[in-house]
Structure formats: C-alpha cells, structure tokens
Structure 1
Amino acid sequence: MDETIINSLTSLVDFNQDELIIFMKRLKLRKVIKNEFILKPGDICKTMVIIKYGGLRYFTITEKGEQSHWFAFEGEWLGDYESFLIRQPSQNFIQALEDTELYCLSYDDMQELYAYGAKFERFGRLIAENLFISIGRSRNELASLSAEQRYINLIKTYPNISKRIQIQHIATYLGIHPQSLSRIRRNISSPKT
C-alpha cells in the first residue's frame, strides 16, 4: 500500500490494517500530465481524488479572469464536492499543476465504504468538513486580508509552492497580478529597516 495515502487516511481516522485494505481496494489509480484537466465546467464531478504525488489547482473563470480557489498536493483530497454529492454539473476547473499521480474514489464506492461502519462514515464527514473549512477560509482571507498576508499564509501552508507552480497561478489565488506578487515577494525577502 502507498505510504502517502495510508498516512493521509490514518491522519483523519484510526483505520486498522483490514479497514485500510478495504479502503484501498476502492481507490483507482490515475496519472495526469501537467496542465491536463480532470474537471471542467459542465462536467459532473464523478470522483474525489487523493494525490499520491504532484499537485492540482481548483479554479473558476469569471469576467475578471481566472480565480484559483485552492491548491492540493501530496496526501490531500480534492474535488468539486457539491457536484460530486448532488450529481450536478460543476462550474469549476481542476487542473494538474505538474505531472500528477492520484487515486480516485467514486461516489458509488464512497457509499459502499459507508456501509462498512462508523469509521468510514466519520472519514466521509471529516473530508466534507475539511473541504468546507478550506472554502470558507479562502473566501474570508480574500475578503479580509491583504494580498501580502494571504501570500504569507499560503507559503506557511506550502513552503515550496513557488518552486512547484507558476507565479501566475499563485497570483490568481491572491486576487492580484503577477507583477504585484513579484513586489510582495521582494518586500518579504528584503529585510525592513
């Protein structure tokens, strides 16, 4: 079994070895190349994914341009949870930021896992809660924090993000232009006197 995935699963719920085997049998391995989309507007999100290695971004396109809502990397789950649950078309994109290997969990497989008992149901609830918190935090930060503070929070969460993805994607997450992000990065790296 894959250690990254096992660590991610057991960080939420204390699955025993047999339960991990049951869970892992439901996950389907998929490889995506850099810039490939795993979800586009109009598609129904058929799977939630957990990343073995690589990175994804979740974003929308509005009249103002692209708006990245969050990023996910090794050991993290991602999907359009609303579309996944209600089986309705998404309005969002999910795109690989780099060559990525991930495991997919379908809606039907998730429902089958719930039938195995409380630990699996708890896992589903915790994933939903974490996604809800991530969305809320992203919205609140965009509305209440400066771009510089949002960038500082982002690099605290993902210290190597600027080495892994394009600056323009980080800028769209912060709601600023890449040139503004370059100034913020210079200000942060230069000691203040």
Structure 2
Amino acid sequence: MDKLSAEQRHMNMAAIHSKNTNPEMVVRRGLWKKGFRYRLNHRRLPGHPDLVLRKYRTCIFVNGCFWHGHEVQLPLAPAESGEWIVENSKCCKIPKTNQTFWVEKIRRNQLRDREQQRRLAAMGWHCITVWECELTPKRREETLESLAYTLNSIFLQDHTQPTRYAQLEEEDGRLGMAAEREAFP
C-alpha cells in the first residue's frame, strides 16, 4: 500500500530528472579530481551516455538502481493468479501498486540499456555502468578508485602495442642490442 496519495506520488515522480543527478555529480566530481576530462550527455552516441571520455574511448552510464532494475529478476509474464512474482534486490524494489506498469517499464529500460551498449561496442566504445548503490558514502571512494583503475587499464590496453626490437645476432651467436655501436657498421 502506497503511503502517498496519487497526486503526491505524481509530484515526486515528476521531480526526478535524468541529468545532473546526485549520483552522476558524485562520479563527475570524483573523476575530475583524479584528472579525467569528459563530455556530458553526448548527443551523437546511442543512449546519450552520461559521461564520454574520448581519450579512453569510453562511455559511462550512471544508473539509478530503481529506474534500471539493478539486479532485479523480472518474470516474462505474471503468474497464473495474475500477480507478478518479482525477485527484488537489496537496492531495487518494484512497487506493488500498478506492478504491471512498473515491471514492463523497467524491463523496457533494461532492454534499451543492453541495446545501446551493444551498439556502442559495435562502434568501438567501451561501456561502464556505475550503479547508484555503489555510490553510498561507505562504497563511494572504492567505486571511484575502481573506475579510475578501469579507465587507465582501458587506455593502456588500447594504446600500447607490443614493442618490436630488431635482434642482431653477433658473430659468437649471442644476441646483440640494436643500440650497441658494434651492431651498426
């Protein structure tokens, strides 16, 4: 049973925005302090990622646990009784009021998220999702450190290539170094 009236609930839901949310601002400030530079809500990329780091060819989505169904098991259809049997997670609980609407909405959001990330990957972009529950005060610093580590790993993976050294064989069969003066006539 909802503790708010329909009008109060409508006002609450209408006040929720998709840009500049508190979790997004935490990630933005944390990355900026660590020296990462990014663009916001890039319109030319599928899904308009919250943060785009072109140097790292990485898109970051900062998702609210409720709106994107973090770790929620959604059934494909209601049970025979007509009720939806939903396995809620610690951070996301599907409302009992108007449950059909919410299950379908969150399922659509999850499918849309997967499709957008698939399209970005096909374009050569890396995708990282940061969940709202990972930004609680207890977990915030660990999450931001992990994010910075992941971004640096992506950069190194994409921008380092195996170095090839010309190996010169000396007269006695040992390998000489290319920088040695004897190696060059």
Please report the TM-score for the alignment, with normalisation by the length of structure 1.
0.30
Higher relative contact order (CA 8 A, sep 6+): 1
More strand by proportion, 1 or 2?
Answer: 1
Task: Tell me the TM-score normalised to structure 2 length.
Answer: 0.31
**Larger-Rg structure:** 2
